[in-house]
Amino acid sequence: MRCEVCGREIFGQPYYRVIEGGRMTVCGGCAQFSNQEWDPRKPKAQPMRRRSAASTRPRRRSDIEVAEATELVENYGELIRKTRQRKGMTVEDFAKKLSEKESVIKNFEKEQLNPTMTLIRKVQRELGITLIEEAEVGTGAVLTRPMGPRTLGDMLKLKTKEEDEEEG
């Protein structure tokens, strides 16, 4: 074994010293450069790079986050229940149609559920009702700045929406 500092052969027991931040196995002479020892029985510290390299990709907005940003209409639970009943569907029928659990439908009607956008869309489509303030949540542009000034595009959208509602 050679001294990692001076390169001379180490006779006998080597010294383990931390020199300039590095763990060195050194001879008795070079051991005097440092009085900071390290323990050769412990595994070497993991390279720091590996940990900090964890990727920090921006998260995509999930359906749930979108749903939270979207306001459900007032008494949406009752609206769902009444519309469903008018169509002659039990909770069980309705749940089967939507491929959802009965409990999900029940809680949704009781307004005790934080529904995903997917579920909201399915219910809307099946019952032909509107559950959220924004008729179409395709772009998300309006949702991200609900209090901001309206662009001409937004106003046109609103106008279209109003007209649609008059027809229905």
**Chain residues in the site for Zn ion (CB under 5 A):** 3, 5-6, 26-27, 30
Q: Which is nearer to Zn ion, 40 or 153 (CB)?
A: 40
Closest CA to 98 of 119, 77, 84: 119
Q: Which is nearer to Zn ion, 5 or 119 (CB)?
A: 5
Q: Which is nearer to Zn ion, 23 or 82 (CB)?
A: 23
Give the whole-angstrom CA distance, residue 123 versus residue 126: 5
Give the whole-angstrom CA distance, residue 96 versus residue 128: 17
CB of 43 to Zn ion, least distance (A): 24
Give the whole-angstrom CA distance, residue 61 versus residue 143: 12
CB of 29 to Zn ion, least distance (A): 5
CB of 6 to Zn ion, least distance (A): 3
Element holding 61 (H helix, E strand): none
